[in-house]
């Protein structure tokens, strides 16, 4: 008996400690948002969240309103879903809400890259320098010649002229846009070498198929729920990309973008090991190529399903081409689509924005570094605990809110266009102007630095498709596919199935 009591007490203490760690005893304190821990200790709602983030957050919003805290796999996440209050999340200081801490953990787990404290400046500086303004000129040129190499390489072969080619629209768009983007960022085979364009095509094709394998594993990899065999496959793919994008490999290339090159150099200068930089090159490939291809698919599909939009964009594209004295004709020179031309397409701009509104669904997350007060636009205040996380999911809160965007699930090509063809930026909720009316690129410290280049890429691809090709859905009554629900929160959504289309050269 003398020994039994301490053992029992010890067991009890361990049990209580364990339950504490599992979050069983957490209670909502005065001033905190509604707390929903779910039924399963520690896991909380993570299974439902992972199955369909959109549906889960809609359910929670209906149950608790526009601010609530839920338990997800050991973390407490407070979701802010009031668009008028997004400023409090986006502009909060780094001392309170930190993006880096969260992203560093994810990048280590999913890409095997260990970041140094404060190295983010290298990415920021070089993105500001090379992915916007004057830096974008060179990238646009490079993208243009790579797109034309990939899209038109069989232009001279009589067998391919004017005959329809059938393909899956998703795979076609993703393939072309990924490969052209990859070649523009990571460089071409040296032009001195024989058949360099053909080598570019073959190498980028092989890389795309490996990328797609990783892409499909990615959501479950990020959630840490890959079964062992697929985990091994993900590791194999990582190894393959580290090698394919390594500094040594890149030294054999030409036309490497200044963005990639200077980031490499910048990392070397602050003492990051070469093998780590090789790994980082895949982080950049992932960030730069995982969204643009799927977005280009939705864009072409929406145009094909909406004849009014298609006619308006075609007219705009033809007008710009003419205005710049260019013409596509059989046997004539390739067109030279410049950045200046791309800045004269307000209708296409609105189409891109509308496509992203409907299909880009990132989950923006921050680590809560110290206890803080969340101030809402209507004067409510909520206490948020240190150690928790905060998140916003603009897809529900903004992009598909019927008060901000009428008939929000329909594609309206001119939604972001004023009658005078300037960009429409005035949107309202409850009579108040909404500052954040579309957030495909995120916002604040983590806002996508590649957004200008990405928009350019999408516009270039569509422009070239329209001027060089005729294309149509194999079945004109084809329904727009559902989204693959496992990808909510990871950027641009992908369809749950591909759809067939056909295309042929116009001239």
Segment near ligand HEM (CB under 6 A); pick from 149-157, 189-197, 283-291, 322-330: 283-291
For ligand HEM, give the closer residue by CB, 15 or 106.
106
For ligand HEM, give the closer residue by CB, 76 or 182.
182
Residue showing tokens 């060179």: 138
What is the per-residue binding string for ligand HEM in 108-127, x denoting contact by CB under 6 A? ---------------x----
- 287 lies in the binding site for ligand HEM (CB under 6 A): yes
- 460 lies in the binding site for ligand HEM (CB under 6 A): no
CB contact set of 476 (below 8 Å; sequence gap of 6+): none
For ligand HEM, give the closer residue by CB, 71 or 296.
296
Helix (H, G, I), strand (E, B) or coil at 173: helix
295, 350, 399, 460: which one contacts ligand HEM (CB under 6 A)? Answer: 295
On the CB side of 275, how many CA atoms lie within 13 Å of its CA?
3
Number of H helices, E strands in the chain: 19, 15
At closest approach, how far in Å is the CB of 459 from ligand HEM?
11
For ligand HEM, give the closer residue by CB, 123 or 467.
123
Summarize the annotated binding site for heme as residue ranges.
448
148, 188, 255, 292: which one contacts ligand HEM (CB under 6 A)? Answer: 292
- 88 lies in the binding site for ligand HEM (CB under 6 A): no
364, 434, 462, 493: which one contacts ligand HEM (CB under 6 A)? Answer: 364
- 360 lies in the binding site for ligand HEM (CB under 6 A): yes
Residues 421-450 that bind ligand HEM (CB under 6 A): 440-442, 446, 448-450
Residue showing tokens 């990615």: 218
Backbone angles phi, psi at 384, to 5 degrees: -120, 135
At closest approach, how far in Å is the CB of 295 from ligand HEM?
4
- 288 lies in the binding site for ligand HEM (CB under 6 A): yes
For ligand HEM, give the closer residue by CB, 42 or 395.
395
- 454 lies in the binding site for ligand HEM (CB under 6 A): yes
- 182 lies in the binding site for ligand HEM (CB under 6 A): no
CB contact set of 269 (below 8 Å; sequence gap of 6+): none
Residues 474-493 that bind ligand HEM (CB under 6 A): 491-492
456 neighbors 140 (Cβ within 8 angstroms): yes
- 293 lies in the binding site for ligand HEM (CB under 6 A): no
At closest approach, how far in Å is the CB of 174 from ligand HEM?
12
CB atoms within 10 A of CB 96: 18
Q: How many residues bind ligand HEM (CB under 6 A)?
A: 22
362 neighbors 492 (Cβ within 8 angstroms): no
Instruction: Determine the length of the chain.
Output: 507
CB atoms within 10 A of CB 276: 15
339 neighbors 455 (Cβ within 8 angstroms): no
- 350 lies in the binding site for ligand HEM (CB under 6 A): no
CB contact set of 507 (below 8 Å; sequence gap of 6+): 328, 329, 330, 468
Structure-block tokens of residue 389: 């996380």
Q: How far apart are CA 36 and CA 65, in angstroms?
A: 12
- 453 lies in the binding site for ligand HEM (CB under 6 A): yes
- 394 lies in the binding site for ligand HEM (CB under 6 A): no
Q: How far apart are CA 419 and CA 9, in angstroms?
A: 75
Closest by Cα among 416, 377, 475, 503 to 90: 377
Backbone angles phi, psi at 181, to 5 degrees: -65, -45
Segment near ligand HEM (CB under 6 A); pick from 56-64, 76-84, 284-292, 299-307: 284-292
At closest approach, how far in Å is the CB of 340 from ligand HEM?
20
356 exposure class (CB count in 10 Å sphere: 0-12, 13-18, 19+): buried
Summarize the annotated binding site for substrate as residue ranges.
109, 291, 389
For ligand HEM, give the closer residue by CB, 188 or 292.
292
For ligand HEM, give the closer residue by CB, 42 or 142.
142
Q: Which helix (H) or strand (E) holds 366?
A: strand 364-368
Cα 45 to chain center, whole Å? 25
Q: How far apart are CA 211 and CA 204, in angstroms?
A: 10
By the criterion CB under 6 A, which residues form the site for ligand HEM?
103, 123, 131, 287-288, 291-292, 295, 360, 362, 364, 440-442, 446, 448-450, 453-454, 491-492
């Amino acid at each position: 008996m003398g020994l039994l009591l301490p053992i029992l007490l010890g067991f009890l203490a361990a049990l209580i400690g364990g339950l504490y760690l599992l979050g069983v005893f957490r209670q909502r304190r005065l001033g905190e948002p509604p707390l929903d821990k779910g039924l399963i200790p520690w896991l909380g709602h993570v299974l439902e969240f992972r199955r369909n983030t959109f549906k889960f957050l809609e359910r929670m919003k209906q149950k608790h309103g526009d601010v609530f805290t839920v338990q997800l796999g050991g973390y407490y996440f407070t979701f802010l879903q009031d668009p008028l209050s997004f400023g409090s999340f986006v502009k909060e200081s780094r001392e309170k809400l930190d993006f880096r801490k969260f992203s560093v953990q994810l990048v280590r787990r999913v890409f095997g890259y260990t970041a140094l404290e404060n190295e983010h400046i290298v990415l920021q500086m070089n993105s500001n320098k090379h992915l916007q303004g004057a830096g974008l000129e060179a990238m646009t040129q490079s993208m243009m010649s790579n797109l034309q190499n990939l899209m038109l390489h069989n232009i001279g072969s009589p067998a391919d002229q004017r005959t329809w080619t059938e393909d899956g629209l998703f795979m076609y768009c993703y393939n072309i846009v990924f490969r052209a983007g990859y070649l523009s960022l990571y460089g071409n085979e040296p032009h001195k070498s024989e058949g360099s364009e053909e080598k570019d095509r073959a190498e980028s094709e092989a890389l795309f198929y490996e990328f797609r394998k990783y892409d499909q594993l990615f959501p479950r990899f990020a959630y840490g729920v890959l079964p062992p065999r697929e985990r091994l496959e993900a590791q194999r793919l990582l190894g393959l990309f580290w090698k394919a994008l390594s500094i040594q490999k890149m030294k054999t290339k030409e036309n490497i973008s200044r963005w990639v090159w200077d980031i490499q150099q910048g990392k070397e200068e602050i003492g990051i090991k070469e093998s780590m930089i090789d790994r980082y090159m895949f982080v950049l490939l992932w960030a730069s190529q995982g969204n643009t291809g799927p977005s280009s698919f939705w864009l072409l599909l929406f145009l094909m399903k909406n004849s009014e939009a298609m006619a308006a964009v075609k007219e705009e594209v033809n007008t710009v081409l003419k205005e710049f004295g260019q013409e596509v004709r059989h046997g004539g020179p390739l067109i030279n689509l410049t950045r200046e031309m791309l800045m004269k397409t307000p209708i296409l701009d609105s189409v891109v924005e509308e496509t992203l509104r409907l299909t880009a669904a990132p989950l923006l997350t921050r680590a809560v570094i110290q206890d803080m007060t969340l101030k809402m636009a209507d004067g409510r205040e909520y206490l948020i605990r240190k150690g928790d996380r905060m998140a916003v999911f603009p897809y529900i809160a903004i992009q598909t809110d019927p008060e901000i965007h009428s008939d929000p699930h329909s594609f309206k090509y001119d939604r972001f266009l004023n009658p005078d063809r300037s960009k429409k930026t005035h949107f309202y909720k409850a009579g108040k102007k909404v500052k954040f009316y579309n957030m495909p690129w995120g916002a604040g410290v983590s806002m996508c630095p590649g957004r200008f280049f990405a928009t350019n890429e999408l516009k270039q691809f569509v422009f070239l498709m329209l001027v060089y090709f005729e294309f149509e859905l194999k079945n004109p009554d084809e329904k727009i596919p559902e989204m693959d629900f496992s990808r909510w929160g990871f950027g641009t959504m992908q369809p749950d199935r591909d759809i067939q289309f056909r295309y042929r050269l116009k001239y």
